[in-house]
Structure 1
Amino acid sequence: MGADVIMPFGECTEYPAGASRGRQSMELTLRWAERSKRYFEQHKQEVPWCGQYSAVSVQPMQDRVAEARDLRISREPGKTAQNDNSENGNSVGEGQHQSLFAIVQGGMDRGLRRESAQRTIEIGFPGYAIGGLSVGEPRALTREIVESTIEHLPQDKPRYLMGVGTPEEIVEYANLGIDMMDCVLPTRAARHGLLFTSQGKISIKQARYASDEQPLDSNCGCRVCRRYSRAYLRHLYASNEVLAQVLNTVHNLSFYLDTMRAVRHSIRLGARGRSASADRTEQP
């Protein structure tokens, strides 16, 4: 299919899980990583990355990941960004074929996380994902595990946090040094009528929006906010119209894109902690 980044299988442990279960999952994930890399190295030229899409459509994605990584490195004391095209580098910006990242597992055990990171790095990948989180653990514990795992990941490779998160979490983890995140939340929430705005979350299914002619978010320039009122969106949802899910999804994805633009802007400015996107996503 020509995806920019592909992942090997990784097993998430349930929460809570004991040390033996965490090790079992980690070892399985490591075996999959080794097998996936062997196969990838043998067949990577069979799916030419640049042959699938034009350079115009793909290059900006590469540049954004590399830029975020380089800016992150440059603002860490004593660190400078370097381009690494070695066997263990094969950076996202190389542009010759897809990139195979690897997943660090280990449950909520910091020792297993450290071991998983070290052994995965020994195999050698152009980027590293932190997996196995957001499986029911307290949010504070998620942050602790992310922070402790980041310490063991290369400074000059993209760091990808899987399954996270809310707009607030995106800002939080970007400030910790995470470069990439993914989550089903904007589309899942849209299907259930939950919409993200600069004034906080809105449940459009509520009756109080039935006669509300305001745009969904006056600070949003997406096609939904420019054209439709809250009352109309509520009517579509209450009528079980598929269009409700479509429009809700368009808005939520636009809000997430705006959040990421604000995060990148704050990185360029060298801002830490509170960023422009944090201001956008505060609850009223």
Structure 2
Amino acid sequence: MKFDLKLTDPKSKARAGIITTDHGTIETPIFMPVGTLGTVKGVHQTELKEQVNPDIILANTYHLFLRPGMDILERAGGLHQFMNWDRPILTDSGGYQVYSLSGRRKINEEGVKFKSHIDGSMHFFTPENVMETQRTIGADIIMAFDECTPYPCDYNYAKRSMHMTHRWLDRCINHLEKLPYKYGFEQTFMPIVQGSTYKDLRRQSAEYIANAGAQANAIGGLSVGEPADEMYAMTEVVTEILPEDKPRYLMGVGTPINILENIALGIDMFDCVMPTRNARNGMLFTAHGTINIKNKKWEDDFSPIDDMGITGVDTMYSKAYLRHLFAAKEMLGKQIASIHNLGFYVWLTREARRHILAGDFRAWKDKMVVQMDKRL
């Protein structure tokens, strides 16, 4: 992987860059739609490519490990072949899913023993076998195995967890050196900064991760319930330390406002299930605010869903029609809303990039934050 930093905004830390992988280029800042199980929920690959048009998507190691399993993926030739996707893919290591299974797992120095959420079967993840699993999945960017601490988190627990995450990182790196690539293209490895909401721990972790010398770096353990101001404070601490010439990925974030504020702090890559999850509940993000399409006020509003939207569905269908689909519990309503929200998130990061390159990002960002905070 190669990262070319094109420009940093003079009035913030916002950056515009280009990541080059064997499956194509990624213009940053970028939002990555979440395709947990090898599918972005409710959106076929043709719609994803032609309407949303993301440079990269994300899939999940934990879920793919359980279904369809590594034997199937290896026989298919990796996830790109299995799902017929020829652009870059990033895989999360499963650390966040292990965190979310707090009642079903036990963590020790060796790894994590957990029960499948599907059938209760027992499994054991270690830094080593998670690296092997991600080699088999075959994503372009793969993540270190870490422990994502909850919020709130006791300082001593956060400190112990952070040091264990660092030891796991060393094991990931050592094991990866022994594992050849499987499908004829390279994979980029990305370690993860932890440390909960404690500035001294975040600094320690950022320094450890920076010294690992990876081609890209991530920040984990945020967007887990902490106030937005805490998220921004931790991000700022970390981006002051992580190398400027490497991409920075803030995992699991977030609302459109969260994304813009973190771009201003020097983050390049984002992912979140919010666009599709909220879409399935009738919540639409727009540049002028959030729409609850289920509200009666849209019943006879025949204007386009979003006349500023970048996807075909935005002007093809009216608000009244989309509201009708939700009221009738038609599957198409959730699909249209999902395409719209994903398109908006991708537009938002691309528009941020355009304003960074134009030199007026800060003023545009401040205006957008006010607009997007409205309920329409």
Q: Considering the TM-score relative to the shorter chain, is it more than 0.5?
A: yes
Quick one: which amino acid aligns to residue 166 of structure 2? L
Q: CA deviation at 1:145?
A: 0.8
* Distance (whole Å) between structure 2 residues aligned to residue 257 and residue 278 of structure 1: 18
| 8 Å Cα contact 2:197-2:234 kept in structure 1 | yes
Q: Are 1:281 and 2:352 matched, yes or no?
A: no
Q: Are 1:208 and 2:297 matched, yes or no?
A: yes
Alignment of 1:77-156 (within 5 A): 97-156=186-245
Alignment of 1:179-258 (within 5 A): 179-258=268-347
Decide which structure has greater strand share: 2
| 8 Å Cα contact 2:310-2:347 kept in structure 1 | no
Q: Are 1:26 and 2:162 matched, yes or no?
A: yes
Aligned to 2:36: none
Q: CA deviation at 1:277?
A: 9.0
Quick one: which amino acid aligns to residue 223 of structure 2? S
1:131-172 per-position Cα deviation (integer Å, ceiling 9, x unaligned): 101111111111111111111111111111111111222221
Normalising by structure 2, we get a TM-score of: 0.60
Q: CA deviation at 1:282?
A: 5.4
| 8 Å Cα contact 2:193-2:209 kept in structure 1 | yes
Measured on the aligned residues, the alpha-carbon RMSD in Å equals 1.8
Quick one: which amino acid aligns to residue 233 of structure 2? E
Normalising by structure 1, we get a TM-score of: 0.78
Q: Percent identity?
A: 43
Q: CA deviation at 1:278?
A: 4.8
Aligned to 1:8: 144
Q: Secondary structure at the match of 2:339?
A: helix
Unaligned runs of 5+ in 1: 50-96
Decide which structure has greater helix share: 1
Q: Secondary structure at the match of 2:362?
A: coil
| 8 Å Cα contact 2:140-2:188 kept in structure 1 | yes
Q: CA deviation at 1:114?
A: 1.1
1:78-114 per-position Cα deviation (integer Å, ceiling 9, x unaligned): xxxxxxxxxxxxxxxxxxx110101000011111111
Q: CA deviation at 1:233?
A: 0.6
Q: Secondary structure at the match of 2:225?
A: coil
Q: Which has the higher contact order (CA 8 A, sep 6+)?
A: 2
Unaligned runs of 5+ in 2: 1-78, 80-137
Quick one: which amino acid aligns to residue 266 of structure 1? H
Quick one: which amino acid aligns to residue 38 of structure 1? N
| 8 Å Cα contact 2:352-2:361 kept in structure 1 | no
